[in-house]
Homo-oligomer: A and B are copies of this chain.
């Protein structure tokens, strides 16, 4: 995938070193649409929102955007009035360099909380990026937004709408401080589809709920979580609108698939992670209880360290279910590792079954299915194991 050239008609991009993160690393980038695009955004639900999040939320309301300015290294979170001033000022600098209205510039920052942006880096980096924009610069942007990520996360889909090809390209970053609502991360999705802001916003919200907001690495939610989607309308199909369900579903399906692929990349790259585990709770009394139960298991340190130890420790899973708040009868619970039913009616199924379950845990990806037999609702949460390296990474890295 790294060798591919990721492009979308009508979008250019560039990433540069601006000095925020030393002298070598790409740390500042621009994504620019040839013309104003419909924009949709989904942002952190944390009460503590970074300055760029507050600014983007405001600007998204207009329904149009043309530029994304992004830096890594400093999150511009918990930076007060000065942080807001710098967020506005840097978007004005980008607008100036590109000769575009400042209100059409979205800005994202990721990195250390509590530090102010250094203006000199933006004064250096923005013109440099503006001068080097190119259609195949998007891969570099995916590189520039990485923090504790170990690989860049970018992918694309092409979908036929009314017989015309429509491209969706997505990138994201995130490895720690990940428990969606939003996934602690940045993601940018670009498409040449023709679609208006309101509909785009509602499709993005739905897709995010089922993808980015269904993953967890460490149960922490960031101050900067942002997904931005720009649709510049350069594809040749008639506009996607509510009363054209076929076109709508084709686009929505591709968008959700793209988001899911990106979201799972984040979990696979979870800090210190060695395994991707899907916690599937079914038979719950309500959607909310299914979510609660799956999320509690997916965030339990004891469950996650057992995955790391490749220990088919269903006792920790049932203990987590017990404190989750979901209602069920412990004598009805079934638990399976992939297709190995290790627990039936709340009871372990013996050493031979355990040996087969242990073999499942040695796989890099597997599904833990819990059936509560208390109703019809179900929920998948994607998580990772919890390794020694998670602690090493987070005892050292300043986020």
Binding site for B on A (CB under 8 A): 44-49, 75, 77-80, 112-115, 176-177, 179, 181, 218-223, 299-302, 305-306, 308-309, 311, 313-316, 318-323, 326-328, 330-331, 343, 345-348, 386-388, 390-392, 394-396, 398-399
Contact = CB atoms under 8 A, between A and B. Distances in A.
Contacts of A223: 315, 318-319, 322
Contacts of A346: 78, 80
A147 to B, nearest CB: 13
B221 A322 contact: yes
Nearest to A220: B302
Given A78-B347, A347-B79, A348-B114, A48 B311 contact: no
Interface centre among A220, A223, A323 (most CB of B within 10 A): A323
Contacts of A221: 319, 322-323
Contacts of A114: 314-315, 318, 343, 347-348
B319 A220 contact: yes
A80 B345 contact: yes
A322 B46 contact: yes
Contacts of A345: 80
A78 B330 contact: yes
Q: Per DSSP, are chain A's interface residues mostly helix, strand or loop, or mixed? A: loop
A343 B80 CA distance: 12
A332 to B, nearest CB: 11
B396 A391 contact: no
A334 to B, nearest CB: 12
Given A45-B323, A48-B321, A388-B391, A316 B220 contact: yes
A318 B394 contact: no
B47 A322 contact: yes
A330 to B, nearest CB: 5
A319 B398 contact: no
A308 B395 contact: yes
A385 to B, nearest CB: 9
A1 to B, nearest CB: 30
Contacts of A387: 391, 395
Given A301-B219, A391-B305, A398 B323 contact: no
25 contacts: A45-B323, A46-B323, A47-B322, A48-B318, A48-B330, A75-B315, A77-B319, A78-B318, A78-B346, A80-B331, A113-B316, A113-B318, A114-B347, A176-B302, A177-B319, A219-B300, A219-B301, A220-B302, A221-B323, A223-B322, A301-B394, A305-B394, A308-B395, A388-B395, A391-B391
A398 B306 CA distance: 8
Given A308-B395, A390-B391, 14 more contacts: A47-B323, A48-B321, A78-B330, A80-B331, A218-B302, A219-B299, A220-B302, A220-B320, A220-B323, A221-B323, A301-B390, A305-B391, A311-B398, A388-B392
